[in-house]
Structure 1
Amino acid sequence: MSDLSRFSFNSETARHWPLPELIDAAARSGLGGVGLWREPVQETGIDRIARLVRAVGVVVTSLCRGGFFTAADAAARRDRIDDNRRAVEEAARLGARTLVLVCGGLPPGSRDLAGARRMVADAIAELAPFAGEHGVVLAIEPMHPMYCSDRSVISSLRQARLLAEQFPADQVGVLVDAYHVWWDPGLFDELALLGQRTAGFQVCDWITPLPAGVLTGRGMMGTGCIDLRTLRQAVERSGYRGLTEVEIFNAYLWELPGHEVLAQACRRYLAHVV
């Protein structure tokens, strides 16, 4: 099987590849979509990128990132909500169905985990109707517990699901990232409960032992210990009909030419995910 139409390539996997070249190469390779990050999109120009993806016929599966709602003072929290409103508007201009939320860790010096989680819930409650008006789903990304202090106080699929269920499904969903959820003993039960509220599915692999630079040490599919094919099948059984997005933060890959990274990702997607 060589069909790549349900495969999406996240731009951070080849961080230094200019977006116009990446988008063109993805389309020429038969991919169905690309995942994008706000900063390089802004550098290139949102309208230019929007025209490019439409011209070559790929979809933007996600825009990353919104979130980081936790802050020590009300003014900073308001600034972050305002920035998320801008991110929703950017996603809409790109035709992206989802805005990925990295919700934020503990504010500096804080040990109030419950309070930080309330900040996240309050911010999403304020933003959800705005996102719905723009046709964008806020995709809560639960992150591995090792990131709880600095990146996201939402650490499990269950947490993310219970938070998302407080809002209409066309406003708030959950992003399932294999790297962050593969370990969860309740993984498959939670996927079934999520159903069509799954707003996105991302894959890479968990390398053992973890590299010293954990954030930039994710592996290509098939280089680690995650059963990605079984996970993909479970996500699809739950009702997810979107694309599978490959997002890998890896310092070694970032030094390679982008077309080599894409070719490797395509081979490994077909070998270990499909």
Structure 2
Amino acid sequence: MRRFSLNQATTKYWPMPELVAGCLDAGVTGVGLWREETAAYGLDKTAALMRDAGLTVTSLCRGGFFNAPGWYDENRRAIDEAATLGAPVLVLVSGGLPEGGRDVDGARARVGAAIGELVPYALSAGVRLAIEPLHPMFCSDRCVVSSLGQALDLAAPYPAEAVGVVVDTYHVWWDDQVWAQIGRAGREGRIACFQVADWITPLPEGVLLGRGLPGDGVVELRRFREAVDATGFDGPVEVEVFHAEVWARPGREVLDAALAGYRAHVA
């Protein structure tokens, strides 16, 4: 269980001090944080809280959205925040098509170029940029990077210590090329973050909130963990779930369910 990390999104409304106390009580040592919740509690306060509790910040979500005005300055701020928190990884969600646009290839190429502009700053801050592919249903509005192979192609021009990829089971489980691409990611030293969530059938209204806790859906989660492990990756395994019914439950109850699902279906 040393690798288990609770991504803050899973317990979205659990106040930061209670999340920390709950993790300590459950023996959880890793937490993935989100910028919005960190800002609401206070960046420096959050950093101090995590440090004083002895918790490891496994990632910070999120940067990216390279089609938005001011993306460069916003991503530099995100890198600074990750460095302050001691998060080794900043997760990047690329953003969708520009307004009125239809050129997916062009939008994807611009993502790669934008990441290249951030590489020197990220290296100087000691923060690794991690490109996260999202399920193709999000391509138009949230993320033009839809497969692990596309993410690796975008990362390829840059040093592996600067740019890696996220393997998120919810987003890539459908892809028949994912096993080969996980192997490629390992050979290239690109796996920066590994996140697990299940795929619920049928999806609830509003597919963004269709993630389930481990074991609640159809994804071969242990197969993913074994494939990622086979590359030599031995870093944190973040449970990251977006679901309104999960969020409505008490934070400690959700954490306990996440731990149980992780033991039964991931570890």
Q: TM-score range by the shorter chain?
A: over 0.9
Q: Does 1:245 align with 2:235?
A: no
State the partner residue of 2:165. 174
Amino acid at match of 2:259: C
Q: Post-superposition shift, 1:27?
A: 2.2
What's the secondary structure of 2:198's corresponding residue?
A: coil
Q: Does 1:58 align with 2:55?
A: yes
Q: 2:195 touches 2:240 (CA, 8 Å); kept in 1?
A: yes
State the partner residue of 1:221. 214
Q: How many residues align?
A: 265
Query: CA–CA distance in 2 between the matches of 1:45 and 1:269?
Result: 30
Cα RMSD, aligned residues only: 1.0
Q: Does 1:22 align with 2:15?
A: no
- 1:103-122 paired onto structure 2 within 5 Å: 103-122=94-113
The percentage of aligned residue pairs carrying the same residue is 55
Q: Post-superposition shift, 1:44?
A: 0.7
State the partner residue of 2:28. 31
Q: Does 1:89 align with 2:86?
A: no
Q: 1:32 touches 1:243 (CA, 8 Å); kept in 2?
A: no
Which of 23, 38, 42 in structure 1 is aligned with 2:39?
Answer: 42
Amino acid at match of 1:232: R
Q: Does 1:266 align with 2:259?
A: yes
Q: 2:35 touches 2:61 (CA, 8 Å); kept in 1?
A: yes
State the partner residue of 1:155. 146
Q: Post-superposition shift, 1:32?
A: 2.6
Q: 2:112 touches 2:155 (CA, 8 Å); kept in 1?
A: no
What's the secondary structure of 1:170's corresponding residue?
A: coil
Which of 228, 239, 247 in structure 2 is aligned with 1:235?
Answer: 228
Q: 1:228 touches 1:273 (CA, 8 Å); kept in 2?
A: yes
Note the alpha carbon deviations across 1:168-197, whole angstroms, 9 max, x for none.
Answer: 111100010000011111111111110131
State the partner residue of 1:5. 2
Give structure 1 stretches of 5+ with no counterpart. Answer: none
State the partner residue of 1:124. 115
Amino acid at match of 2:61: C
State the partner residue of 2:129. 138
Q: Post-superposition shift, 1:24?
A: 2.1
Query: CA–CA distance in 2 between the matches of 1:266 and 1:119?
Result: 39
State the partner residue of 1:67. 64
What's the secondary structure of 1:36's corresponding residue?
A: strand
What's the secondary structure of 2:113's corresponding residue?
A: helix
Q: Post-superposition shift, 1:62?
A: 0.8
Q: Post-superposition shift, 1:149?
A: 0.3
